[in-house]
Copies of this chain bind each other. A is one copy, B any other.
């Protein structure tokens, strides 16, 4: 499992319609194949300056790669993320002491074995 997270601030005013529209638009990311446990989060620690976060999980690097190149992700980054995000940091996690696990795909395990 790889947990992909990004913590960020927007250029929009706090509580603005533009802020709400951006956060709503991000729902499309949850529908991209391979994305699991998608979460939209509010960052609440006073120890950093970020306001929001997204978190999602992938079964393995292949699923993560598929997300990165998916047209809906590419379009979201180009049309919303780049113009509307002021600052961000990506943090990705895997459980400590384990490597990302290859899960056999429905229909056969040949793909997992071939890697």
Contacts and interface: CB of A to CB of B under 8 A. Distances in A.
Interface of A: 2-4, 7, 23, 39-45, 47-48, 50, 52-53, 55, 89-97
B96 A40 contact: yes
B94 A48 contact: no
26 contacts: A2-B44, A3-B41, A4-B45, A7-B91, A23-B96, A39-B93, A39-B95, A39-B96, A40-B96, A40-B97, A41-B95, A41-B96, A42-B93, A42-B95, A42-B96, A43-B91, A43-B92, A45-B90, A45-B92, A47-B89, A47-B90, A48-B89, A48-B90, A48-B91, A50-B91, A52-B96
Can you tell how many copies of this chain the complex includes? Answer: 2
